């Protein structure tokens, strides 16, 4: 028996090493020689070959192992961790996807801290894995049996939600995704960190300005007290996160809060949402600068590529018109059904003029500032007009023509633009091509 065991241990060792380093041929050879080895686990940690493949991102071997029907995608190691948890911990997105496809259960809890794969992805800041697990939760049995929002706010052994962990570990992207998926910004922990801590307390401790900015923009309460009576401001001071403390100081200016309770905000399409979220962050960063200047802190080094993204938006919208409210930004958002346009920042100012009442979450519904009609939808201003539309434009009614012109026809219609009666504030690319007859035609009543 001793002989057999030592021989087997040697084989296992060969197998696990080959899995770790992704040597598919050796893995195949070893398993052909002894198919039962596929069920073997390492002696101490009780890792299966699947755990090792997942943790090391060996997607080929992982896929090969999962083809074997006797392999359980949810096999457990010594700490009751599944291969999916290890893949989420190490940010091996391909393995996360494959395991979920193969039916891995996203609702398993380890025995270390009672945490799920979603906690792992949030803690280690792998936003792609986090996103994949969340999309799976939206569509899988979890949504019907548990409910999606319950899953997003799933608690570990000490009451910590994935949002608590992401905030504590300085993972702003994960914080954003979780909040956007319905994570409760004011949830307090049972025993994780200091009891009664909210994500904002933990972000104050972690010292990430980006996390704090996200949380505040989603309505985190600066006055919430943990079990020892401390507000996040006191936590930041204690951990010597001075710049964070300045933002968390209840006496400094309040940031704009994303107006999520508004119906048309919750129904925004992706483009409009991205544009408005970006504008919100820009406005809040400007406020931060003012706060930090007064307190003698300088703005921490830019950790975001926000500025480049913003530049893209501007050049994209460069054919549209200057906002008639601020005369500073270009119109980017159109109010429907009336069709009035304004810039993203003015749209936000309209929607965020006061914080939602924390108990009722009710906001007075804003109306169009131009015509006072109700806002059914907000969309991104479209500036691209194809050739067929331009042709059509020549024959449309004067009223329609006027409204079209006020959008400053773009691309390929440079002759229209150069002689257009509407002053163009945007960057003018290209000039008239001499098709004057057309322009005269169009300017006639």
Q: Which residues bind Zn ion (CB under 5 A)?
A: 323, 325-326, 329, 338, 340, 343, 346, 368, 370-371
* Pairwise CA distance, residues 336 & 373, whole Å: 9
Q: Which is nearer to Zn ion, 134 or 407 (CB)?
A: 407
Distances (CA, A) of 302 to 194, 287, 298, 328, 388: 30, 15, 11, 24, 44
Q: List, in sequence order, every residue forming a beta bridge with 334; answer none if it has no partner.
A: 341, 379
Do the beta carbons of residue 31 and residue 15 sit within 8 Å? Answer: yes
Q: In the bound complex, what is the minimum distance in angstroms from residue 328's beta carbon to Zn ion?
A: 6
Q: In the bound complex, what is the minimum distance in angstroms from residue 349's beta carbon to Zn ion?
A: 8
Angle between helix 59-67 and helix 24-33 axes, rounded to 10 deg: 30
Q: In the bound complex, what is the minimum distance in angstroms from residue 323's beta carbon to Zn ion?
A: 3
Q: List, in sequence order, every residue forming a beta bridge with 377; answer none if it has no partner.
A: 336
Q: In the bound complex, what is the minimum distance in angstroms from residue 326's beta carbon to Zn ion?
A: 3
Q: Which is nearer to Zn ion, 113 or 336 (CB)?
A: 336
Distances (CA, A) of 6 to 10, 12, 13, 311: 6, 10, 11, 65
Q: List, in sequence order, every residue forming a beta bridge with 378; answer none if it has no partner.
A: 335
Q: In the bound complex, what is the minimum distance in angstroms from residue 263's beta carbon to Zn ion?
A: 17
Q: Which is nearer to Zn ion, 199 or 366 (CB)?
A: 366
Q: In the bound complex, what is the minimum distance in angstroms from residue 275's beta carbon to Zn ion?
A: 13
Q: Which residue has the tokens 């505040």?
A: 216
Q: Which is nearer to Zn ion, 38 or 325 (CB)?
A: 325
Do the beta carbons of residue 170 and residue 208 sit within 8 Å? Answer: yes
Q: In the bound complex, what is the minimum distance in angstroms from residue 422's beta carbon to Zn ion?
A: 17
In which element (H, E) is residue 335 found?
strand 333-336
Do the beta carbons of residue 254 and residue 226 sit within 8 Å? Answer: no
Report the SS3 class of residue 44: coil
Q: Which is nearer to Zn ion, 245 or 323 (CB)?
A: 323
Q: In the bound complex, what is the minimum distance in angstroms from residue 58's beta carbon to Zn ion?
A: 52
* Torsion sign across C-alpha atoms 169, 177, 332, 267: negative
Q: Which is nearer to Zn ion, 326 or 429 (CB)?
A: 326
Q: In the bound complex, what is the minimum distance in angstroms from residue 164's beta carbon to Zn ion?
A: 37
What value, to the nearest 5°, has the Cα angle with vertex 317 and ends 315 and 318?
60
Q: Which is nearer to Zn ion, 315 or 373 (CB)?
A: 373
**Structure token digits, residue 180:** 């956007």
DSSP for 367-410 reads B-TTT--B--EEEEPP----HHHHHHHHHS-HHHHHHHHHT---
Give the Cβ contact number of residue 194 at 10 Å: 16
Q: Which is nearer to Zn ion, 50 or 331 (CB)?
A: 331
Q: Which is nearer to Zn ion, 211 or 330 (CB)?
A: 330
* Pairwise CA distance, residues 13 & 36, whole Å: 14
Report the SS3 class of residue 202: helix
- Which of 392, 390, 382 has its CA nearest to residue 420? 390
In which element (H, E) is residue 165 found?
helix 162-168
Q: Which is nearer to Zn ion, 49 or 275 (CB)?
A: 275
Q: In the bound complex, what is the minimum distance in angstroms from residue 253's beta carbon to Zn ion?
A: 20
């Amino acid at each position: 028996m001793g002989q057999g065991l030592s021989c087997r241990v040697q084989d296992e060792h060969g197998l696990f090493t080959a899995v770790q380093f992704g040597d598919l041929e050796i893995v195949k050879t070893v398993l052909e020689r002894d198919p039962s080895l596929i069920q073997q686990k390492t002696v101490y940690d009780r890792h299966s070959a699947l755990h090792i493949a997942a943790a090391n991102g060996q997607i080929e071997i992982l896929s090969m192992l999962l083809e074997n029907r006797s392999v359980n995608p949810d096999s457990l190691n010594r700490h009751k961790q599944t291969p999916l948890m290890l893949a989420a911990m190490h940010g091996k997105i391909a393995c996360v996807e494959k395991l979920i496809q193969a039916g891995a259960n996203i609702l398993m809890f380890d025995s270390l801290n009672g945490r799920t794969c979603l906690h792992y992805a949030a803690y280690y800041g792998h936003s792609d894995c986090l996103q994949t697990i969340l999309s799976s939760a939206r569509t899988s049995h979890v949504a019907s049996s548990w409910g999606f929002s319950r899953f997003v706010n799933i608690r570990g052994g000490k009451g910590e939600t994935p949002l608590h962990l992401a905030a504590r570990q300085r993972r702003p992207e994960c914080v954003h995704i979780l909040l956007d998926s319905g994570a409760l910004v004011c949830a307090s922990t049972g025993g994780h960190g200091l009891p009664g801590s909210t994500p904002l307390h933990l972000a104050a401790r972690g010292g990430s300005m980006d996390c704090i900015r996200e949380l505040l923009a989603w309505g985190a309460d600066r006055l919430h007290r943990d079990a020892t009576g401390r507000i996040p401001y006191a936590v930041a001071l204690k951990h010597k996160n001075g710049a964070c403390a300045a933002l968390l100081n209840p006496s400094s200016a309040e940031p704009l809060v994303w107006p999520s309770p508004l119906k048309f905000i919750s129904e925004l399409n992706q483009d409009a949402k991205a544009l408005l979220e970006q504008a919100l962050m820009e406005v809040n960063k400007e406020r931060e600068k003012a706060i930090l200047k007064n307190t003698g802190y300088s703005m921490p080094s830019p950790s975001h590529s926000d500025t480049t993204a913003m530049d893209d938006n501007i050049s994209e919208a460069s054919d549209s018109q200057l906002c008639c409210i601020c005369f500073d930004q270009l119109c980017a958002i159109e109010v429907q059904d009336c069709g009035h346009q304004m810039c993203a920042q003015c749209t936000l100012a309209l929607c965020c003029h006061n914080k939602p009442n924390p108990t009722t979450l009710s906001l007075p519904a804003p109306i169009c500032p131009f015509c006072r009609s109700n806002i059914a939808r907000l969309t991104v201003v479209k500036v691209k007009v194809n050739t067929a539309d331009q042709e059509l434009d020549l024959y449309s009614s004067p009223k329609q023509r006027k409204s079209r012109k006020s959008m400053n026809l773009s691309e390929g219609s440079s002759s229209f633009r150069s002689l257009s009666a509407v002053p163009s504030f945007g960057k003018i690319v290209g000039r008239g091509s001499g098709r004057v007859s057309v322009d005269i035609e169009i300017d006639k009543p």
